[in-house]
Each structure stands twice: as structure tokens, then as C-alpha cells.
A and B are shown apart, each in its own frame.
Chain A
Amino acid sequence: QSALTQPASVSGSPGQSITISCTGTSSDVGGHNHVSWYQQHPGKAPQLMIYEVSNRPSGVPDRFSGSKSGNTASLTISGLQAEDEADYYCNTYTTRSPVVFGGGTKLTVL
């Protein structure tokens, strides 16, 4: 069982906005800003979309944004596009285990 809890699935129509949550504890997500988000298309390697809660690497569209409130981090995708359909994972740095991933969320674009 993952230390970070994500919804198994979310869906949205093209042009809409969706939010994926990632819930941890005060010892990890709530204790610092070292939360990242990854996109993974089937059969492909993960791609970093957000780091340090809300920073976007070069080349990631600004439709992708991150935030955090308490022990829950969130990834928001606005202006949903067909190519956004993928699996999304959060991860964080912890004192118990240096890195832990969430269980993943399957995004379906209707």
C-alpha cells in the first residue's frame, strides 16, 4: 500500500479542468515542499510535470499547475486535451523512506 493516497481515476471533457489529489501526512507532504508529479503514457517512461509543489520544468505546458494545502498536494490540468489522457503519479521525499510514490491516478478524457 502506497504511503501517498491518490484517487484511482478521474475524468473530464476536452476544455474542462480536473484536479488530482495526493494525500500524505505531516511527516511527508505536509512537512515540506518536496512534492512532484509525473505523467506516464502506456508503455512509456514517466515524465516530470511538476516539482517542489508548483514548479514546472522547461517544456511542460502552463495548463499544468500544482498546489498544496496541509497534507494534500494537488495537480490541476486546465483546458484538458486528448493527449493529457495518461496515468499520473505524485511522489515526495520522506524521512522514513527517501522517496515514496502515490498509487497513481488514471485520467480519462471523455
Chain B
Amino acid sequence: EVRLVESGGGLVQPGGSLRLSCAASGFTFNRYWMYWVRQAPGEGLVWVSRINPDGSNTNYADSVNGRFTISRDNAKSTLYLQMNSLRAEDTAVYYCSKDLTWGAMDVWGQGTTVTVSS
């Protein structure tokens, strides 16, 4: 079964840091682009970041550029999102997803909730 399982979310104070993980199984992880997408409470989906199969190419949304870092460990089939200098507006459910082709995301995790509040 193809599966993505996120972990690492929680409550953090403004200015704090958090590292999200996404464990992949059921497919050849090192062959695919991977994404992080977030959804603030009551809001729509927003793309956050993406990384190419070997980890050498990354992209970020303007809103997180310079604060978030995406990475992957292909030996462990795991995707990461290091989030620093967190703000209240980063509060959201964070999903990891797998690329099918050109931005189409065919596999999604269940999401992990990040709450930034004092």
C-alpha cells in the first residue's frame, strides 16, 4: 500500500522552531518529487515547498522562503520540513504529498497540525 505518514506537529511559541517528518512506504521514494502543502483553519490549500528526487533542487513559497527548509533522506524514505522563526500565520495542517506529474499530487499523508501561539 502506498502511504505517507506525517509527524512532528504541535504547539510552538512565535519565533520557535519545529521539524516535520513524512515517512513514505509502498513506492520507490527516491524517484519522485515531493511536496509540502498547508491548510490554515477554514482556509484553502497552499503550496509550501517542493524537492526533487535526489534532494539537489528545492523551491519555496515566498511566505516561507528563508525560514523553512525542505530536505529528504532517501535511505530512510523520509521527507522533512524544518520550520524556523515561526509566526502565527504559519498555523495550519501540513500535508506531505507525492508528485505524479507536473504538480499533480497523487498521494497525500493524513496531515500534521502546527499551532503557533503564545
Contact = CB atoms under 8 A, between A and B. Distances in A.
Number of contact residues on B: which range applies?
Answer: 20 to 34
Given A51-B100, A91-B103, A45 B108 contact: yes
B35 interface: yes
Given A57-B106, A92-B103, A99-B35, A45 B95 contact: yes
Given A98-B47, A101-B44, A48 B110 contact: no
Contacts, number: 69
Number of contact residues on A: which range applies?
Answer: 20 to 34
- Chain A contact residues, majority secondary structure: strand
Nearest to B109: A45
B88 interface: no
- Chain B contact residues, majority secondary structure: strand
B108 A93 contact: no
Interface string A1-43: 0100000000000000000000000000000101010101000
Contacts of A45: 95, 108-111
Contacts of B50: 98-99
A101 B46 contact: yes
B109 A104 contact: no
Given A98-B50, A99-B35, A51 B108 contact: no
Given A89-B44, A103-B44, A104-B45, A98 B103 contact: yes
Contact of B102 (A38, A48, A52): A52
B105 A36 contact: yes
